[in-house]
């Protein structure tokens, strides 16, 4: 039971910190201290340390000896590279999904609806987590765990700067219907349609993130 509790606390801390970093709430250079974060969240230091080490493995933060963990910056080139890789990998996943077809859709519809509720309530952190859950569940239907892991790593490495800007809010709203359309296209086995929609679904965010980075003076 203690192990389950520790795992749950670790995941809670990981979700919270990852969302803060990815959304831009924790700017580059922000320092996370294990004791301070544990005190803030009301948990022991063990799950906090484990969560921060996991995020360091994803490249979001860097351990600083005797200081804690520092949030790393993202360059425009790194952002562009991530978008290119996501298009390549996630569009391939949709090709495979269309070829195999999709039958049971209840869980995916439920996840897509959760994204919609996060958008309606203007819950940026909720949007990040529900959108992530939907896309990983969709790719998991391909039946290739390594592919799902790769998509997870690419998505978790991307910073959603500008998420709550006017352009970011507009893109969030548009993405809700797109999630349901992706499901419909997979059911219909429409290979061309689902690939084109996934590409649009991904690259439509690029100008939002790029402008936010430029506004911060990052290059």
Summarize pLDDT for 78-119 with one digit per residue, the tens: 889 999 999 999 999 999 999 999 999 999 999 999 999 999
Q: What is the dihedral of CA 101, 134, 112, 157, to 10 degrees?
A: -130
Least confident stretch, 96-110, 135-149, 174-188, 202-216 = 202-216
The whole-number pLDDT of residue 1 equals 40
The whole-number pLDDT of residue 131 equals 95
pTM for the complete prediction? 0.84
CATH number, domain 2-71 = 1.10.10.10
Whether 5 has a pLDDT exceeding 70, the answer reads no
C-beta separation of 194 from 94 below 8 A: yes
Whether 6 has a pLDDT exceeding 80, the answer reads no
CATH number, domain 76-215 = 1.20.120.530
Least confident stretch, 4-13, 69-78, 172-181 = 4-13
For 151-177, what is the mean pLDDT?
A: 89
The span from the CA of 190 to the CA of 96, in Å, is: 11
Provide the pLDDT confidence category of residue 149 given band limits of 50, 70 and 90. very high
The span from the CA of 132 to the CA of 22, in Å, is: 12
CA-based nearest residue to 68, from 24, 37, 25: 37
Whether 31 has a pLDDT exceeding 80, the answer reads yes
Distances in Å between the Cα of 16 and the Cα atoms of 10, 23, 125, 154, 175 are: 10, 11, 8, 18, 22
**Percent of the chain surpassing pLDDT 90:** 61
Positive or negative, the CA dihedral 90, 91, 94, 95 is negative
63-68: long-range pairs with CB below 8 Å, 24+: 64/31, 67/31, 67/33, 68/31, 68/32, 68/33, 68/34, 68/36
128-131: long-range pairs with CB below 8 Å, 24+: 128/19, 128/22, 128/23, 128/160, 128/163, 129/15, 129/19, 131/175
For the chain, the domains span 2-71, 76-215
The whole-number pLDDT of residue 162 equals 83
The whole-number pLDDT of residue 112 equals 98
Provide the pLDDT confidence category of residue 217 given band limits of 50, 70 and 90. low
Provide the pLDDT confidence category of residue 218 given band limits of 50, 70 and 90. low
Higher pLDDT, 12 or 157: 12
Average pLDDT, the chain: 90
Tokens of 138: 């969709």
């Amino acid at each position: 039971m203690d192990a389950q509790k520790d795992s749950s606390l670790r995941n809670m801390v990981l979700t919270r910190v990852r969302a803060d970093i990815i959304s831009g709430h924790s700017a580059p250079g922000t320092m996370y201290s294990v004791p301070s974060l544990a005190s803030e969240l009301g948990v022991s230091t063990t799950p906090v340390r484990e969560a921060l080490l996991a995020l360091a493995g994803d490249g979001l933060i860097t351990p600083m000896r005797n200081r804690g963990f520092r949030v790393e910056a993202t360059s425009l080139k790194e952002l562009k590279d991530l978008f290119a890789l996501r298009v390549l990998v996630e569009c391939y996943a949709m090709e495979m999904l269309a070829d195999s077809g999709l039958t049971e859709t209840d869980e995916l519809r439920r996840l897509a609806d959760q994204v919609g509720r996060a958008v309606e309530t203007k819950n940026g952190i909720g949007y990040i987590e529900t959108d992530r859950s939907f896309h990983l569940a969709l790719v998991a239907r391909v039946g290739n765990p390594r592919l799902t892991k790769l998509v997870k790593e690419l998505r978790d490495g991307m910073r959603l700067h500008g998420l709550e800007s006017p352009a970011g809010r507009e893109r969030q709203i548009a993405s809700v219907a797109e999630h349901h359309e992706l499901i419909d296209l997979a059911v219909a086995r429409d290979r061309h349609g689902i690939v084109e929609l996934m590409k649009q679904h991904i690259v439509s965010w690029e100008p939002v993130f790029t402008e936010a980075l430029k506004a911060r003076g990052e290059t």
